[in-house]
């Protein structure tokens, strides 16, 4: 199973959009997936059509990481009701709900014990033995756009980090900073952590500037720059506002974008070798 943080130290590059696109691809492919919404804005939770009904949000679960029951507090995405899965199995897309409360951990001075809160929460769920169990093949962690406590907590719990960038000057510089930060963090806290690659998002094919910056990304990062790139989607805000998976949205542009996310997901899963279980 892959535990993958979706990260960028530059805001506004579409990090949550990539998380939702991968979640939509996983749901369509029948890949049992958990999305952890670690961004205090909780946009991924909104996009995945979930609302707490007595369940704890991720912030309160982190507060009591050793005792909190992750499996008892995740919710199935609202996308499930219209989904089908290969082989006739019931589709699985669960969400650990985001909330502003998680922001209490989004500060730069967290110690090692606090950095392991999400790891502890996942590990305790892994080692629990309730009567019914559910195995996730993929965990996607939507991180805030900063290198404060929540992102570093996510990296501690992950085996891979996928970076999101726009083909623009400030975003290219932000990606370089993120990779440097990842190397330093890996050396000090997480020697098993690796980069899953860089997704170029919101690419405009007719833009000279975007073409130049894409070439710059390729020169700077080589094979870390993933293929395919994700083009700018005119109706993406409408899709997210409707809390709808892109794979179920009508129209040729949504279909084309869906196929690109399918390719990204396939590459992400093909490189994975770590197994884990989360019980429900």
10-residue stretch averages of pLDDT, the chain, 280 residues long: 91 93 96 97 96 92 94 95 69 95 94 95 69 73 94 96 95 92 94 95 94 96 96 90 94 95 95 42
Which alpha helices (H) appear in the chain, and where do they start and end?
A: 15-29, 43-47, 58-63, 70-73, 112-115, 117-127, 149-157, 169-188, 208-221, 236-241, 252-270
| pLDDT at 279 (0 to 100) | 38
Contact 162, 199 (CB under 8 A): yes
Written as six digits, the tokens of 133 are 């169990």
Q: What's the CA angle centered on 29, arms 39 and 244, to 5 degrees?
A: 50
| pLDDT at 83 (0 to 100) | 76
Written as six digits, the tokens of 199 are 């997704």
| pLDDT at 131 (0 to 100) | 33
pTM as predicted: 0.92
Give the separation between CA 211 and CA 207, rounded to whole angstroms. Answer: 6
Give the separation between CA 228 and CA 264, rounded to whole angstroms. Answer: 7
| pLDDT at 12 (0 to 100) | 87
DSSP state of 137: S
| pLDDT at 126 (0 to 100) | 60
Written as six digits, the tokens of 31 are 């890949």
Q: What's the CA angle centered on 124, arms 119 and 126, to 5 degrees?
A: 95
| pLDDT at 269 (0 to 100) | 93
| pLDDT at 124 (0 to 100) | 83
Give the separation between CA 34 and CA 186, rounded to whole angstroms. Answer: 24
268 upstream amide cis, omega within 30 of 0: no
Residue 42 region, left (φ>0) first, then alpha (ψ -120 to 50), else beta?
left
């Amino acid at each position: 199973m892959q535990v993958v943080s979706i990260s960028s130290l530059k805001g506004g590059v579409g990090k949550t959009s990539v998380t939702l696109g991968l979640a939509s691809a996983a749901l369509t492919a029948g890949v049992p997936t958990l999305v952890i919404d670690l961004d205090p804005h909780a946009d991924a939770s909104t996009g995945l059509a979930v609302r707490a009904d007595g369940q704890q949000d991720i912030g309160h679960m982190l507060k009591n990481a050793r005792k909190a029951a992750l499996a008892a507090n995740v919710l199935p995405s609202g996308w499930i009701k219209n989904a089908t899965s290969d082989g006739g199995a019931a589709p699985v897309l669960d969400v650990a709900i985001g909330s502003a409360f998680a922001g209490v951990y989004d500060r730069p001075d967290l110690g090692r014990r606090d950095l392991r809160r999400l790891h502890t929460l996942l590990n305790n769920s892994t080692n629990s033995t309730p009567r019914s169990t559910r195995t996730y093949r993929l965990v996607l962690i939507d991180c805030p756009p900063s290198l404060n406590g929540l992102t570093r907590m996510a990296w501690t719990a992950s085996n891979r980090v996928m970076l999101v960038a726009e083909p623009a000057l400030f975003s290219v510089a932000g990606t370089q900073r993120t990779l440097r930060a990842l190397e330093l963090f890996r050396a000090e806290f997480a020697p098993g952590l690796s980069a899953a690659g860089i997704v170029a998002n919101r690419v405009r094919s007719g833009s000279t500037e975007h073409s130049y910056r894409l070439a710059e990304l390729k020169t700077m990062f080589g094979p870390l720059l993933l293929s395919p790139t994700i083009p700018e989607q005119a109706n993406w805000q409408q899709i997210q506002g409707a809390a709808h998976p892109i794979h179920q949205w009508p129209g040729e542009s949504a279909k084309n974008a869906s196929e690109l996310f399918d390719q990204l997901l396939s590459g992400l899963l093909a490189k994975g070798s770590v197994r884990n279980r989360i019980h429900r």
